[in-house]
Structure 1
Amino acid sequence: MSTIKPSSRSRGSNKSFGQRNDNNRIYANPLPLVFDDSPPTKLRSTLGLLGLSLAEVINPRCDGFFDSATRSVWVSGHSGTALLWRRGFFGKGDLSRSEPSWLARQLNNRKSGGKQVTSEEVTAKRRAERKQFKLDRAAAIAAVAEEAETIFATEGRVIKPALSGPAIPSAATWRPAPSAPVTHPFVSVENNIESLGDDSLADIEHLQLTLQEAFFLAWNLDCLTILDPSTDGALTLKQIWIAFQSAHLSPIYSPAFHQCLQPDNPFLINYVVYHHYRSLGWVVKGGIKFCVDYLLYKRGPVFTHAEFAILVCPVYEDPEDRKASRFDLQNRLPFGWSWLSTINRVNSQVQKTLILTYVTIPALSRVSSDTFETPACLKCYSVREVIIRRFIPARMRD
């Protein structure tokens, strides 16, 4: 059982009440599966008293194409991409930073002239404002320094340039130049498409799922059908399992790689970690921005910042297997203190707790190669967690 506990730090402290309500409504379901909330009947009520339930599980179906070159699965169509993103934050838009909002941005520009903005445009606006603040502050400091030099040259007086004061903008006092008012996020794409008529935009954006996300949706939730791009036919679970491992051996999927399956395949190691945290209720996203493998969100990116940063550390049960392996796994060697301190400092600066997640790779001497042809091999792996915190004497004296 994981001992990780989320903090109460939330990104939404400065958001309006209406915006939070919109997010709670749009992202109400943590997974694509939905339980039927029809009015209870007498039979349902009786079974409820006995701890039983007749609730119907509504399981939506989405289709995605496996792309071995990018080691991902591509889901097309607004209905599928919106469903997977809004119900669990799976994948990312290939034309967006995270949420697949390309079509919404185009419709906003066409219909409202940019008066309504998506979450991605809000982020871009904030970054532009921070950049402008730094430029304005640097210009003000340069002006004060130039004024001090002028006084020294003309009057001979030495004046130390001030780095703060009424003439120097600060984060608390600086305000961006006034612009046209905008309304917050979220535009109903479905309604806009209907109003555009025959001249509507085609949604060319795809939702890109990692292999770990795709297999979790296909195997655990049974709401994703993965198609072979060469035949457009649906792959069986065993074909998907072998294809995802083979993607790390060759860019072209071939059944001939059945004999090349090994316990230290990168897909297996990363899926073990992804499955572990998803099963505990965390929203798991990529963490390359902070030099880690995964980030853990309590509810999702639109609600809170990531609480934890996960670094996957494979450990061989039998050291001899590492010498014979064809994979050069990341983080398989002991960490240098300078490297570990660097990663920890990066994540401490953004208020994330670094977790080293050790995945024990089963020894080939006790597990047959046929075991890795099905997901049953996952029971041979184990996960251990070590939390790393940066020690700051000035802050931790109490």
Structure 2
Amino acid sequence: MSRHRRSEGKKGGIRRAENNKIYAHPIPLVFLQSYVALGLSRHIVLNPCCEGYWDPLTRSVWVTNPKDSAILWQRGFFGKGNLSRSEPSWLSRQVNARKAALSGKVTSEEITTKRREQRKRFKMDRANAIAAAAAEAEEAFRTGKTVTSSIIIPSGATWKPAEKTPEKGPPTISQSNNRQEEDSGDLNSIVDVEHLQLTPQEAFFLIWCFDCLSIMSPQTDEGMSLQEIWIAFQTCYMDQRGLNPEPALQLRPDNPFLVNYVAYHHYRSLGWTIKSGVKFCVDYLLYKRGPVFDHAEFALLICPTYEDLADSDSPTRGTRDISWSWLSTINRVNSQVMKTLILCYVTIPSSALVTTEMLGSPKCLAYYSVREVTVRRFIPARMRD
């Protein structure tokens, strides 16, 4: 047992060292130090020039170049693969699946799919057995007979999947060799159809703070200016049915893009890695280093608050009304997964202070403020002391 534990620790140490090497840079910029004469040194900043396309329907920026996707993910965990859970790894998973098919092994995804199919089949068998037993009991009650049911309702401990009919005999040696040659040729013919998706908050943070991303317009296929990007990210959250031909006239200080970006910029500037928290019913998840190293420690819930209550009469779509029952539900969900819930109150400035012209540029962000409140679940049985 001690030898097994020692081997697990060795494997974990190797994997951790490899991750530290791959994700050594927390931001897209790379700082190199070069020495000159007389013992003096200077820093050289390497700024990548990534490129993406703006898609207003999905409210995201698509980075289709695999090299740019790798840079943005490995240097700060920006974006998400559209065919993956987080890291864009669709191509590597397809290659591993082909290699596993060649060697006759089963991938972890295939094992998960098989377990899900068995769980679904078990639930269907149990539901059919319960329905049959209920129908038999109802028939016995109607006829006045004694219920002597022979139906056994399966349980998770005793149920076993039905055995499938055996397939035909194994292929011959020539057939297996031909199949291996065909599959080995298919490994190089797999086309990577996955792209990295950046949220408007992530994309604008990369543009405004690091100037390492350029966004192309899908209509003209030309680069968009900072002003055009700023307006486009706000108008994508508006109701397109009543949109004015001049989007700047419709801008409001409580736009969801502005509120979310204020919180995103605040925590990114403090060194946190921020990812989407929709899985746990919150807006963002805060990681100390990134999802590769550890789980998120904090769950962030953005709560817009108005400086002038008169502006809350006609809020933009995206602001929310918080109730105690809803807050208790979210707190319960995040407490079960060992995450501390943080209420991030973003103060929306008054419309009299921030005019429509000011909302047309990022200068309006100076009038927003952020406050945090930590929410912990009270458990009487554990907190008596």
**TM beyond 0.5:** yes
1:336 corresponding residue in structure 2: 323
2:284 corresponding residue in structure 1: 294
Correspondence 1:221 to 2:217 = no
2:53 corresponding residue in structure 1: 65
Answer with 369-378 or 252-261: which moved more.
Answer: 252-261
2:12 corresponding residue in structure 1: 16
Letter in 1 for 2:193: I
1:322 to 294, 312, 321: 312
TM-score using structure 1 length:
0.72
Correspondence 1:102 to 2:98 = no
Correspondence 1:25 to 2:44 = no
Distance in 1 (alpha carbons) for counterparts of 2:280 and 2:190? 35
Output the aligned Cα RMSD. Answer: 3.3
2:62 to 74, 78, 84: 74
| Cα-to-partner distance string for 1:340-387 (whole Å, 9 max, x where unaligned) | 111111000000000000000000122222111111110000000000
TM-score using structure 2 length:
0.75
Cα drift, residue 328 of structure 1: 3.3
Distance in 2 (alpha carbons) for counterparts of 1:130 and 1:354? 31
2:3 corresponding residue in structure 1: none
Distance in 2 (alpha carbons) for counterparts of 1:307 and 1:31? 20
Distance in 1 (alpha carbons) for counterparts of 2:295 and 2:12? 17
| Cα-to-partner distance string for 1:4-36 (whole Å, 9 max, x where unaligned) | xxxxxxxx9896221112211111111111111
Distance in 2 (alpha carbons) for counterparts of 1:37 and 1:255? 50
2:177 corresponding residue in structure 1: none
1:41 corresponding residue in structure 2: 36
Distance in 2 (alpha carbons) for counterparts of 1:206 and 1:396? 48
Identity of aligned residues (%): 55
Per the alignment, in what secondary structure is the counterpart of residue 43 of structure 2? Answer: coil
2:341 corresponding residue in structure 1: 354
Letter in 2 for 1:20: R
Any conservation in 2 of the 1:309–1:355 contact (CA below 8 Å)? yes
1:187 corresponding residue in structure 2: none
Cα drift, residue 329 of structure 1: 3.4
Cα drift, residue 318 of structure 1: 0.6
Cα drift, residue 391 of structure 1: 1.0
Distance in 2 (alpha carbons) for counterparts of 1:135 and 1:397? 45
2:195 corresponding residue in structure 1: 206
Cα separation, partners in 2 of 1:244 and 1:112, compared to 1, 3 Å:
same
Larger of the two Rg values belongs to structure = 2
Cα drift, residue 128 of structure 1: 6.8
Cα drift, residue 250 of structure 1: 5.0
Cα drift, residue 229 of structure 1: 0.5
1:237 to 226, 230, 252: 226
Cα separation, partners in 2 of 1:394 and 1:69, compared to 1, 3 Å:
same
Cα separation, partners in 2 of 1:124 and 1:389, compared to 1, 3 Å:
farther
1:145 corresponding residue in structure 2: none
Letter in 2 for 1:41: V
Cα drift, residue 75 of structure 1: 0.4
2:149 corresponding residue in structure 1: none
Cα drift, residue 324 of structure 1: 3.6
Cα separation, partners in 2 of 1:125 and 1:59, compared to 1, 3 Å:
farther
Distance in 1 (alpha carbons) for counterparts of 2:341 and 2:201? 21
Distance in 2 (alpha carbons) for counterparts of 1:115 and 1:23? 28
Cα drift, residue 221 of structure 1: 1.1
1:369 to 337, 340, 356: 356
Distance in 1 (alpha carbons) for counterparts of 2:301 and 2:339? 12
Any conservation in 1 of the 2:256–2:319 contact (CA below 8 Å)? no
